[in-house]
Structure 1
Amino acid sequence: MKKRMRNNLLLVLALLISCNLQAQKPIKLAVAGMTHGHISFILGRPGKGDFELVGICDPNQELAQKLASQFKVKPALIYADLDKMLDDTKPDAVVAFGSVFDHLAVVEACAPRGIDVMVEKPLAVNMEHAKRMEELAGKYKIHLLTDYETSWYPTTAKSMEMVGEGKVTGPIRKVVIHDGHQGPKEIGCDPVFLEWLTNPVLNGGGALVDFGCYGANIMTALTKGEKPVSVTAVTRQFKPDVYPNVDDEATIIVSYPESQCIIQASWNWPFNRKDMEIYGVSGYIKTSNNQDMSVRTQGMKGEEALIVTDGDVAVYEDPFVYFADVIQEKIKPEDFGLYSLKNNIQVVEILDAARESAKTGETVYLKR
């Protein structure tokens, strides 16, 4: 009897060890597209044991070879054809670092193979692409996430927390979001990246898409997916000699039944900025960057400055750790959370309406 119990305990222990080893097994990751300037986020990422890079792919083999050499990626992992890479390496997950237009092709290749995907912002160039991607993700039951830099910010997470608690702002009335920089050419973006970033087909637009998506993403999360009533937008070309084919300045007003969001997206700021102001009936929140913010509520004579870190609020400062935890079902994305598919479908709908409004000079009313 004792011997049987001992054997049973050893069996249970062996199973627990086996399960633990399987849980710690790295996720097989492949990279689809290498022309995005943020490619260093994954190729230059320090090894954490959560992912195993099994392949990188881009039709531009000169670029692929160059980046592989720069980031010390084994030449054997380089592919020119996406389907061949997926069939040869059989990854669990793919991250897309090509043009926004190419996001659809990545999902079309990955979804039927049951491969989870994370794309760089925004999700898609238009609603036609976005709906097709949503359809594929649902049919084949894959995770399809969208990565934004501001999703990593402790100040973004803290703002969401404060709004959710209602202690600072109360009901939201106005949100003003500023995103952008001096311009992609001015800040030194690689020519390969610049080529599609300033192409109205491959990027879907200029500053309106490149930085307007941040505000649409955050407001959709703040309102938990509330449907906008209308979108009004004005775009400008202050630098037609530099950006002849796309806008370099956009102001987007997104109206809701009880609130309004003003998104200022620009390739003309005198410096980089990603900040926002959230105004409610009882106070406001202002963020300056990823860690600095201030709040003011009724009864206060001035603002209270805060410095927020990941120790003060629950936030993933590494998007790939978030991706891994979603894949391994350690967490489940909220329906309209910053990375979620539902959120980012609505982001594309807002951007589509903004383009239409800027083109026609009319307010676009969304179907409810």
Structure 2
Amino acid sequence: LTLFTSLPIGVVFSQQIASKPIRIAVAGTTHSHVNWILGRKNQSDAVIVGIFETDKQLIDRQVAKYKLDASLVYNDLNAMLDKVKPDVVVAFGSIYDHMAVVQAAAPRGIHVMVEKPLATNVKHALEMKALADKYKIRILTNYETSWYPTTEKTYRLVHDSAYVGEIRKVVIHDGHEGPKEIGVNKEFLDWLADPVKNGGGALIDFGCYGANLMTYLMKGAEPLSVTAVSATYKPDIYPKVDDETTIIVQYPGAQCIIQASWNWPFGRKDMEVYGQTGYVISANNTAMRKRNKQSKAEETAIITAEEVSVYVDPFSYLADVITGKLTVPPYSLYSLDN
């Protein structure tokens, strides 16, 4: 995650700047990634002031697991927003529910961060954009790969040092064995496998990462075409949605192949970028292989957050955006237009 200037969006040292913590309200807790915020101890940059969840059994478990104050919990989103008056709402319910969160928050002047992806359909995405513009709020989308040091390093090798030359092909693999297979909580699985609440299966769950990364690498350039081939190889488990999708995004001079799957033998988030003069392959958040025409052989490296100055905590990033310390550039990883 980086600015297109010399100052990266995710500057590690800026997380140490003392300021009044932003007030965060959590809207929905069914997404398993909610542990990132519920398990985060209140720090100098952000504090949780409210949690909205209608599933009492679920929130009771979470209150016990994370040792939360039960008085933070509300079963009415609007009542919570009016009572606790947060600076920002972070949404961890279904993707379809992101629309309702923005509809509630925007007129109150409350910023929003949603867990990836932004929306299940274009209509919702455009309406969110209109609300953000009308009420002058920020809407950010949180992708795990935005915090990867290898993501930032790849961007720099493509654009700052011209290590790989002009991009010709990008191949992105994301996914795991399947949500049921890896044991996600029932409340999460119920909407992940729902074509309305999730918008699809692996296509939405993991195809979104590749779309986000490629848009960033291409600086928002519009593709000529987008083609997707989806299949369901495990209809007994996922009868209503795809569990396998390959997306081909064609640009005038480049192609991106996004392979989103609930059928990998293990979890993976990796990316291969090939240019006119070299390539960069990110195996995970820190491991990288690269070579160009000036290299005698392939080089390997471990990329650290300190080396590339990138945030490894999305809520610290969010705090610095809300407090005006950072500006979100167009088509960057968290941006509304990506």
Report the TM-score, using the length of structure 2 for normalisation. Answer: 0.94
What is the identity, as a one-letter code, of the residue corresponding to 1:59?
A: T
Structure 2 SS opposite 1:252: strand
Asked if 1:290 corresponds to 2:273, the answer is no
CA distance in 2, matches of 1:46, 1:258: 46
Counterpart CA distance in 1 for 2:47 and 2:115 is 20
Report if the CA contact (8 A) 2:171-2:257 is conserved.
Answer: yes
> Is residue 158–residue 313 contact of structure 1 (8 Å, CA) maintained in 2?
yes
Residue 3 (structure 1) aligns with = none
Deviation, structure 1 residue 301 = 3.2
- Distance, in Å, in 2 between the alignment partners of 1:201 and 1:166 is 43
- Cross-structure match for 1:70: 65
CA contact (8 A) 1:179 1:212 kept: yes
SS in 2 for 1:123: coil
Which residue, out of 191, 198, 201, partners 1:196?
A: 191
Task: Give the number of aligned pairs.
Answer: 322
Matched, 1:92 2:99: no
Q: Alignment RMSD, CA only?
A: 1.1
Partner of 1:207: 202
| Structure 1 residue 274: Cα displacement | 0.4
Match of 1:280 in 2: 275
Return the match for 1:303 from 298, 312, 315.
298
Equivalence map 1:160-199=2 (5 Å): 160-199=155-194
Sequence identity, in percent? 59
Counterpart of 1:37 in structure 2 is 32
One-letter identity of the residue aligned with 1:185:
K
Post-superposition Cα deviations, 1:113-143, rounded to whole Å, max 9, x if no partner, equal 0111100000000000000000001111111
Aligned residue type for 1:169: V
8 Å Cα contact 2:26/2:50 also seen in 1:
yes
Q: Counterparts of 1:27-176 in structure 2 under 5 Å?
A: 27-176=22-171
In structure 1, the residue matched to 2:217 is: 222
Which amino acid is the alignment partner of residue 289 of structure 1? N
Deviation at 1:62, TM superposition (A): 2.0
Asked if the contact 1:65–1:78 (Cα under 8 Å) also holds between the matched residues in 2, the reply is no
* 2:206–2:260 Cα contact (<8 Å) kept: yes
| Separation of aligned partners in 2, 1:26 and 1:331 | 15
SS of residue paired to 1:94: strand
1:276 Cα deviation from its structure 2 partner: 0.7
Give the corresponding residue for 1:261: 256
In the aligned structure 2, how far is the partner of 1:260 from the partner of 1:52?
42
How far did 1:282 drift?
Answer: 0.5
Alignment-derived partner of residue 8 in structure 1: none
Shift of 1:258: 1.1
Structure 1 residues 182-204: Cα deviation after superposition (integer angstroms, max 9, x where no partner):
00001110011000011000000
Q: Contact between 1:95 and 1:117, CA under 8 Å: does it hold in 2?
A: yes
Counterpart contact for 1:176–1:278, Cα < 8 Å: yes
Q: Secondary structure at the match of 1:342?
A: coil
The amino acid across from 1:93 in the alignment is: V
- Give the gaps of 5 or more residues in structure 2: 1-17
Runs ≥4 residues deviating over 6 A: none
Is 2:21–2:319's contact at 8 Å kept on the other side of the alignment? no
**CA deviation vs aligned residue, 1:243-295 (integer Å, no higher than 9, x gap):** 11100000000001111100000000001100010000000000000000011
Offset at residue 66 of structure 1 (A): 1.8
Question: How far does residue 166 in structure 1 lie from its aligned partner after superposition?
Answer: 4.3
Q: Do 2:34 and 2:92's aligned partners in 1 also have CA atoms closer than 8 Å?
A: yes
CA contact (8 A) 1:175 1:260 kept: yes
More helix by share: 1
> Displacement of 1:215 after TM fit?
0.3
C-alpha distance in 1, partners of 2:70/2:270?
41
Mapped partners of 2:294, 2:146: distance in 1: 31
Q: Which runs of 5+ in 1 are unaligned?
A: 1-22, 344-368
- Equivalents in 2 of 1:69, 1:79: separation in Å? 16
Per-residue CA shift, 1:72-112, capped at 9, x if unaligned?
Answer: 11111110010000001111111000000000000000001
Distance 1:168 1:25 in 2: 41
- Match of 2:306, SS state, is coil
2:9 corresponding residue in structure 1: none
| Equivalent-residue separation in structure 2 for 1:52 and 1:38 (angstroms) | 17
Q: Does the aligned pair in 2 maintain the 1:168–1:295 contact within 8 Å?
A: no
TM-score by length of 1: 0.86
Counterpart amino acid of residue 197 in structure 1: L
Aligned to 2:3: none
Where 2:307 maps in the other structure, the secondary structure is: coil
Q: Is the 8 A contact 2:22 2:47 kept in 1?
A: yes
Q: SS at the partner of 1:311? A: helix
How far apart are the structure 2 equivalents of 1:191 and 1:57? 18
2:230 pairs with 1:235: yes
- Classify the secondary structure of the residue corresponding to 1:193: helix
